[in-house]
C-alpha cells in the first residue's frame, strides 16, 4: 500500500506535466478534472484499508534519496494525516470545477499550479522524513504565490508577496530547527525516530519556538494573521478554497505532528501563552468579522477565529481537545471552503463581494441560498452540523483543564452566530435588489461542487463516529507522548455519546 | 618528467588549444567565426575527458608545486562546465554586440587555464601565476567591446582595482614566505603547526584574505563588482561571476584550512564578521537595483557570504558544503545570466528588470526557466539552490554556529524579495510590446541543460552529495 500512497501523492504532479501535452483550455480543464477525480478515487482505498486499531504509521514506503545523510523518501499515514489527505483529494476536484469559468486566461498554467499544489500538500501530510516534509512544505509556496499573484484581484501583487515572505520567513527557521534536531536526535531525519528521542529542556525550548513561528504563521495564529485577509481577498476562488481548507491546516498539523511529540516540555511550558493567543484569536477574529462588509474578508476573519479553536484544542493536551481540534480542522476545511465557493459563485454573477450590494438573493437563487444558509449554520456550530461536534469537543477539552478559558472561547461561538446570521440576513433575505432579480441559480456544475460538501456537513454533524474512530488511537498516542493523561474514560464515552447523536450518556 | 606532464595534461590541452585558436582565427574568414566556438568546445571536452580519467587519482607533480587530487579535479570539472556553457551562450550574443574578435574564445580558454592552475596549486607561486593569467584575460575580455563606453570603464576599473589586489596578495605571500621560509603549502602548514608565526603571520593572513576577498567579492572588497558586472559584456559577466568565484573559493579554502588550519580558532571570528557583512550588504543592496545585471552582481556578493560559511566551518562537512554550493551556484547563476543574454537583441539592451515585463505571456518557456533559476537562487525546494543552502546550514549547525545559520536563513528570506520581483515582473505585469528573444540553438541548448541540472540536483542530489563527500576525504582541512 505504500506504493499506492505514493501514487496518490504524485498523480497530480504527473497530471501537471501531462497538461503541457494537451491543446486548448477546455481539454486542459477536462484533463485536470479527470486527474483530480482519479486521485480522489485512488485515495479512497486508503480509507478502507486503514487499520483503526493502532496508532502506528501505515502504508509506509521507504526509498533511498540521500542515504549518506539518512535522508530517505519515507511516507506513511496515521489517524492524524489520513483525514487531511482525504480532505485534500476531495477538495481538489471542487477547486478545478469552481475555476471552470472563473479562470479565463492562462488556464493551463493555472491548472498546472493547482495540481502541483495538490502534490505538495499531500506530500506534507504523508512525509515521514523531515527533509522530505520540508521540501513539500516549501515547494507549496511557489504555486500558491503564482495563483494569488497571477490570477488574483486588483491588489494581488501586494497580497502575493506578503503571503510569500511571511510564510517563507517562518519556514526558514523551521529548516534550522530540523537540522539541529538531526544532530541532536542521533543523526537521522526519520520523523518517527526523532519523536522517540528525548531532548533536554533548553534545546526543546529553542526548537519549539522555531517550530512555533513556522506553524503559527501558517495557521495563522493571532499576531501573525495579517497576511491571511489580504491573501484571501485577492486570491481567485480556487486559491481561497485551497488556502482556507488545506494550507491553514498545515500549521495545526505541524503542531500536532512535531511540537507535541518532539518538544513536550517546551510545549507544556508554552501552553499559557498559546492558549491565551488562541482565545484572543477566537474573539478578535470574530470581532473583526463583525465589522467587515467584504464577504471574503468576513470569512477570512472567521477563519482566524475558527483556527483559534483548533490551536486551543491542541494545546489543552487531552484526548477530547486534540480530537476536537483535528475534527475541527476537517470541519473548517469543508465549511469555510464551501463558504468561499459560495462567495465565488456570487462574485462570478455580480462581480461584487460587497455585502451592501446584495439582498434578497434567495428569490432568484433558492438553491444557492439554501446551500449558503447551511454552510453558515455549520460555520456557527449549529447542533446537527459538523462544526458543532468539533467545537464542542474542543470546549469540553478546554473545560477539563481550564473552565475560564472554555467560557471565553464559547463567547466566540456566539459572536460567530452574530456575524454569520447577520451576513446571511443581508445577503439572502430582505428586499430583493432589482439588479439581482435575474441572477441564474446554481448550474449543474456548481451544484456538483456544493452537494458533496453539504453531505459532509451533515454526515460529520450527525454521525462523526467513523471519522473519530480513524483518528482516535493516533490522537491518544500524541496525547500520551506529550505526557499528560486524559481523564479516565472521557474520550470513549464522549465519542459514543456524540456518535449516538447526543441522546444522553 | 613524463609523469609530471601527464598530470598537467588538461592544462596543456587548454593552454596549447588557446594558442591554436589564435592561429586558426587568422586563417578563418570572418563569417566562419562560429567554428572557433565549436573548436573551443572540443578543447574543453578533451580537457574534461583528461580530467575525468585522472579524477580519482592523487598525485603531485613538479616537486609539489602542482597537486592532482579529487578536490582539484572536481573544481576543474566545474570550470569546464562553466566555460562550455559560457561559450554556448556567447555565440549569438557576440554577433549582436558586434564583438567580432576571434581572440574572445582564446582569452576565455586562457582564463580557464589560469583558474585550473590555481585549483591544482600546491604552492603559492603557481597560485599567483594562475590568478594573474585568469585576471589579465578577464581584464581584456571585460573591455573587448571597445566601441562603447561602459565596457571600457568597467575594464579600466577592474584592471586598476584588480592590480591593486594582486599587489596586496603578492605582499601577503612574501610575508608568509618570511614567516615560514617556504612557499609550499604543506610545508608552510607543518611549520605553522609547530607554533611559529607572530605578527608577520597575521599580516600575511590579512593580506591574503584581502586578495582572495577581492576575487570572490566579499565585503568590504566588493566595490568593483556591480560596476564591472554591469559594464562587461553579459557573457563575460556570467563567466566571471561563476568561474572566478568558484576557483578562488577552492584556493581560499586550501590556503586557509590547510596552511592556516592550525591557527583556525584565531581567525574564524574575523571571517564570520566578513561573512555576515557580505550577506547583509549583498542582500540589502540587491533590493534597490533596477538593472538585472547589477542585481545579480549584488546577489553574487550575497552568495559569496553564504559560501564563506562553509569555509568558516571547515572540516569534511564544511568543505563538502562549500563544494556543493559552488557547483550549484555555478549552474543556477549561469542560467539567470543566460536568460539575460537572450534578452539582449539588436536595438534593445534588455537589462532593466522592467524589460522582463510580461515575459510569461510572450515567451512562457523562457519565463518558466527564469522562474526556476530565481527560486533556486533564493534557495527554495525542489530546486538545486535549496540543496546548496541546506548543506551549508547543516555544516553551520554542526559546528555550533546555529545562530549564523539563523541569520543566513533570515537574510535568504530577504533575498527572496528581490528574486521574486523578477518573477513578479515576468508573470504579473503586462508586456509593453512583443518581446523578441535572441534565439540561437546553442543558447537554447545551454539553458535547457542548466534547467535540467537545476531540477535534477534539486530532486535527486544524492550522486553529487556523495561525490563531494568522497572528494573531501583525503584533504587535511581543519574543522
Indicate whether A490 pLDDT > 50.
no
Task: Work out the pLDDT band at B3, boundaries 50, 70, 90.
Answer: confident
Task: Work out the pLDDT band at A456, boundaries 50, 70, 90.
Answer: very high
Question: Hey, of A135, A147, A170, which one would you mutate to test binding to chain B, going by the most B CBs within 10 A of its CB?
Answer: A135
Q: Beta strands B66-68 and A58-66: pairing type?
A: unpaired
Please check whether residue A470 is in contact with residue A79, taking contact to mean a CB–CB distance below 8 angstroms: yes
What are the φ and ψ backbone dihedral angles of A64, each rounded to 5 degrees? -65, 140
Indicate whether B170 pLDDT > 60.
yes
- Residue the block writes with cell 539553458: B447
CA angle B314, B319, B325 (to 5 degrees): 125
As a whole number, the mean pLDDT across chain B is 91
What are the φ and ψ backbone dihedral angles of A384, each rounded to 5 degrees? 100, -20
Let me know if residue B108 belongs to a domain.
yes
> Cα(B391)–Cα(B384) distance, rounded to whole angstroms?
11
At B295 the pLDDT is 96
- Which of A64, A161, A183 comes nearest B397 by C-beta? A183
Let me know if residue B88 belongs to a domain.
yes
Name the percent of chain B in helix, strand, coil, to the closest 5. Answer: 80, 5, 20
* pTM for this predicted structure: 0.93
Task: Work out the pLDDT band at B336, boundaries 50, 70, 90.
Answer: very high
Query: Domain count of chain A?
Result: 1
Let me know if residue A122 belongs to a domain.
yes
Indicate whether A260 pLDDT > 50.
yes
Measured in Å, how far apart are chain B's first and last C-alpha atoms?
36
- Which of B381, B393, B417 comes nearest A139 by C-beta? B381
At B2 the pLDDT is 64
Q: Which three cell numbers stand for residue A175?
A: 529548516
Indicate whether A505 pLDDT > 50.
no
> Cα(A268)–Cα(B25) distance, rounded to whole angstroms?
75
> Cα(A210)–Cα(A175) distance, rounded to whole angstroms?
9
Task: Work out the pLDDT band at B149, boundaries 50, 70, 90.
Answer: confident
Q: Give me the mean pLDDT over the A177-191 stretch.
A: 92
- To the nearest 10 degrees (0 to 180), the angle between helices B402-428 and A156-184 is 150
At B145 the pLDDT is 82
pLDDT in tens, B239-265: 999 999 999 999 999 999 988 888 888
At B197 the pLDDT is 67
Let me know if residue B181 belongs to a domain.
yes
Tell me the sheet residues that pair with A448.
none
Nearest CA among B185, B206, B336, B198 for reference residue B261: B185
Q: Give me the mean pLDDT over the B216-227 stretch.
A: 92
At B196 the pLDDT is 63
Q: Give me the mean pLDDT over the B280-286 stretch.
A: 95
Let me know if residue B478 belongs to a domain.
no
Task: Work out the pLDDT band at A489, boundaries 50, 70, 90.
Answer: very low
CB contact under 8 A, B412 and A164: no
At B1 the pLDDT is 54
Let me know if residue A503 belongs to a domain.
no
Dihedral angle of Cα B403, B405, B406, B408, to the nearest 10 degrees: 130
At B366 the pLDDT is 94
Interface A–B counts its CB contacts (< 8 A) at 86
For residue B141, the enclosing domain spans 2-472
At A485 the pLDDT is 37
CB contact under 8 A, B410 and A169: yes
- With beta carbons under 8 A apart, name residues in chain A contacting B405: 176, 179
| Alpha carbons within 13 A on the beta-carbon side of A110 | 30
CB contact under 8 A, B380 and A139: yes
| Alpha carbons within 13 A on the beta-carbon side of A100 | 15
- Which of B382, B393, B460 comes nearest A175 by C-beta? B393
DSSP code string of A87-116: HHHHHHHHHHHHTTTT--SSHHHHHHHHHH
Query: Domain count of chain B?
Result: 1
Indicate whether A491 pLDDT > 60.
no
Nearest CA among B137, B267, B127 for reference residue B192: B267
At B350 the pLDDT is 81
> Cα(A287)–Cα(A415) distance, rounded to whole angstroms?
7
For residue A33, the enclosing domain spans 2-498
Of B212 and A500, the one with more pLDDT: B212
Of B431 and A488, the one with more pLDDT: B431
> Cα(A325)–Cα(A125) distance, rounded to whole angstroms?
16
Let me know if residue A401 belongs to a domain.
yes
Q: Beta strands A58-66 and A71-77: pairing type?
A: antiparallel
- Separation in Å, CA of A178 to nearest CA in chain B: 9
Report ipTM (2 d.p.): 0.93
Amino acid at each position: 500500500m505504500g506504493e499506492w500512497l505514493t501514487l496518490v501523492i504524485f498523480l497530480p504532479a504527473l497530471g501537471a506535466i501531462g497538461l503541457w501535452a494537451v491543446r486548448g483550455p477546455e481539454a486542459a480543464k477536462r484533463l485536470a478534472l479527470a486527474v483530480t477525480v482519479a486521485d480522489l478515487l485512488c485515495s479512497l482505498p486508503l480509507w478502507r484499508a486503514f487499520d483503526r486499531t493502532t496508532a502506528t504509521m501505515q502504508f509506509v514506503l521507504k526509498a533511498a534519496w540521500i542515504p549518506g545523510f539518512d535522508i530517505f523518501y519515507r511516507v506513511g499515514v496515521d489517524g492524524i494525516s489520513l483525514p487531511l489527505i482525504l480532505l485534500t483529494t476531495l477538495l481538489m476536484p471542487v477547486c478545478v470545477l469552481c475555476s471552470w469559468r472563473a479562470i479565463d486566461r492562462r488556464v493551463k498554467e493555472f491548472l498546472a499550479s493547482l495540481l502541483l499544489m495538490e502534490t505538495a500538500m499531500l506530500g506534507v501530510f504523508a512525509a515521514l522524513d523531515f527533509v522530505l516534509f520540508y521540501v513539500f512544505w516549501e515547494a507549496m509556496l511557489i504555486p500558491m504565490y503564482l495563483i494569488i499573484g497571477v490570477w488574483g484581484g486588483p491588489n494581488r501583487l501586494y497580497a502575493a508577496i506578503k503571503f510569500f515572505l511571511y510564510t517563507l520567513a517562518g519556514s526558514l527557521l523551521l529548516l534550522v530547527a530540523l537540522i539541529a534536531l538531526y544532530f541532536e536526535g542521533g543523526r537521522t531525519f526519520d520523523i518517527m525516530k526523532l519523536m522517540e528521542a528525548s531532548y533536554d529542556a533548553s534545546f526543546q525550548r529553542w526548537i519549539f519556538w522555531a517550530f512555533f513561528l513556522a506553524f503559527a504563521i501558517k495557521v495563522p495564529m493571532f499576531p501573525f494573521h495579517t497576511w491571511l485577509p489580504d491573501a484571501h481577498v485577492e486570491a481567485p476562488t480556487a486559491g481561497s478554497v485551497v488556502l482556507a481548507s488545506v494550507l491553514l491546516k498545515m500549521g495545526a498539523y505541524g503542531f500536532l505532528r512535531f511540537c507535541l511529540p518532539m518538544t513536550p516540555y517546551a510545549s507544556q511550558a508554552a501552553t499559557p501563552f498559546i492558549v491565551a493567543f488562541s482565545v484572543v484569536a477566537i474573539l478578535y477574529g470574530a470581532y473583526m468579522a463583525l465589522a467587515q462588509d467584504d464577504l471574503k474578508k468576513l470569512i477570512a476573519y472567521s477563519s482566524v477565529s475558527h483556527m483559534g479553536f483548533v490551536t486551543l484544542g491542541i494545546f489543552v493536551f487531552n484526548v477530547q481537545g486534540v480530537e476536537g481540534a483535528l475534527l475541527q480542522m476537517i470541519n473548517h476545511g469543508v465549511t469555510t471552503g464551501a463558504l468561499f465557493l459560495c462567495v465565488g459563485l456570487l462574485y462570478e454573477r455580480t462581480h461584487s463581494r460587497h455585502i451592501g450590494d446584495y439582498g434578497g438573493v434567495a428569490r432568484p437563487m433558492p438553491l444557492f441560498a439554501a446551500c449558503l444558509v447551511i454552510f453558515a449554520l455549520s460555520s456557527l456550530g449549529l447542533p446537527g452540523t459538523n462544526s458543532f461536534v468539533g467545537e464542542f469537543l474542543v470546549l469540553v477539552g478546554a473545560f477539563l483543564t481550564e473552565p475560564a478559558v472554555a467560557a471565553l472561547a464559547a463567547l466566540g461561538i456566539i459572536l460567530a452566530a452574530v456575524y454569520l446570521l447577520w451576513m446571511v440576513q443581508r445577503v439572502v433575505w430582505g428586499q430583493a435588489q432589482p439588479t439581482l432579480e435575474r441572477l441564474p441559480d446554481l448550474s449543474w456544475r456548481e451544484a456538483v461542487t456544493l452537494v458533496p460538501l453539504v453531505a459532509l456537513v451533515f454526515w460529520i454533524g450527525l454521525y462523526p463516529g467513523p471519522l473519530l474512530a480513524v483518528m482516535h488511537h493516533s490522537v491518544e498516542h500524541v496525547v500520551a507522548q506529550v505526557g499528560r493523561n486524559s481523564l479516565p474514560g472521557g474520550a470513549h464515552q464522549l465519542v459514543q455519546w456524540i456518535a449516538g447523536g447526543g441522546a444522553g450518556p | 618528467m613524463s609523469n609530471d606532464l601527464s598530470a598537467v595534461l588538461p592544462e596543456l590541452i587548454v593552454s596549447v588549444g588557446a594558442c591554436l585558436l589564435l592561429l586558426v582565427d587568422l586563417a578563418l574568414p570572418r563569417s566562419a567565426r562560429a567554428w572557433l566556438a565549436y573548436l573551443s568546445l572540443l578543447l574543453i571536452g578533451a580537457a574534461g575527458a583528461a580530467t575525468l580519467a585522472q579524477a580519482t587519482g592523487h598525485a603531485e607533480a613538479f616537486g609539489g608545486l602542482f597537486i592532482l587530487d579529487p578536490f582539484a579535479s572536481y573544481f576543474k570539472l566545474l570550470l569546464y562546465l562553466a566555460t562550455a556553457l559560457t561559450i554556448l551562450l556567447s555565440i549569438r550574443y557576440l554577433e549582436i554586440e558586434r564583438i567580432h574578435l576571434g581572440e574572445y574564445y582564446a582569452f576565455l580558454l586562457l582564463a580557464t587555464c589560469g583558474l585550473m592552475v590555481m585549483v591544482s596549486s600546491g604552492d603559492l607561486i603557481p597560485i599567483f601565476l594562475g590568478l594573474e593569467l585568469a585576471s589579465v584575460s578577464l581584464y581584456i575580455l571585460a573591455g573587448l567591446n571597445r566601441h562603447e563606453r561602459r565596457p571600457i570603464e568597467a575594464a579600466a576599473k577592474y584592471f586598476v582595482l584588480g592590480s591593486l589586489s594582486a599587489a596586496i596578495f603578492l605582499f601577503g605571500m612574501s610575508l608568509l614566505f618570511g614567516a615560514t621560509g617556504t612557499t609550499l603549502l604543506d610545508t608552510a602548514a607543518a611549520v605553522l603547526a609547530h607554533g611559529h608565526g607572530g605578527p608577520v603571520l597575521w599580516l600575511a593572513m590579512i593580506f591574503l584574505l584581502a586578495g582572495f576577498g577581492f576575487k570572490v567579492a566579499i565585503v568590504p572588497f566588493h566595490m568593483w563588482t556591480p560596476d564591472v558586472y554591469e559594464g562587461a559584456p553579459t557573457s563575460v559577466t556570467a563567466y566571471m561571476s561563476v568561474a572566478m568565484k568558484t576557483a578562488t573559493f577552492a584556493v581560499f579554502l586550501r590556503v586557509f584550512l590547510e596552511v592556516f588550519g592550525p591557527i583556525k580558532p584565531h581567525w574564524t571570528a574575523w571571517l564570520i564578521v566578513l561573512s555576515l557583512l557580505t550577506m547583509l550588504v549583498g542582500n540589502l543592496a540587491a533590493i534597490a537595483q533596477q538593472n538585472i545585471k547589477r542585481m545579480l552582481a549584488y546577489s553574487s556578493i550575497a552568495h559569496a557570504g553564504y559560501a564563506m560559511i562553509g569555509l568558516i566551518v571547515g572540516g569534511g562537512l564544511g568543505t563538502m558544503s562549500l563544494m556543493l554550493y559552488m557547483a550549484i551556484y555555478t549552474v543556477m547563476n549561469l542560467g539567470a545570466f543566460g536568460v539575460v543574454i537572450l534578452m539582449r537583441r539588436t536595438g534593445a539592451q534588455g537589462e532593466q528588470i522592467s524589460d522582463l515585463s510580461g515575459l510569461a505571456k510572450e515567451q512562457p518557456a523562457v519565463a518558466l526557466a527564469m522562474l526556476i533559476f530565481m527560486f533556486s537562487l533564493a534557495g527554495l525546494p525542489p530546486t538545486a539552490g535549496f540543496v546548496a543552502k541546506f548543506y551549508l546550514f547543516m555544516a553551520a549547525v554542526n559546528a555550533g554556529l546555529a545562530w549564523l545559520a539563523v541569520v543566513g536563513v533570515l537574510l535568504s528570506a530577504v533575498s527572496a524579495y528581490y528574486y521574486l520581483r523578477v518573477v513578479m515582473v515576468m508573470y504579473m505585469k503586462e508586456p509593453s510590446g512583443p518581446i523578441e528573444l535572441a534565439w540561437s540553438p546553442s543558447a537554447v541548448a545551454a539553458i535547457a541543460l542548466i534547467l535540467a541540472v537545476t531540477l535534477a540536483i534539486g530532486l535527486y542530489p544524492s550522486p553529487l552529495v556523495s561525490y563531494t563527500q568522497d572528494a573531501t576525504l583525503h584533504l587535511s582541512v581543519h574543522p
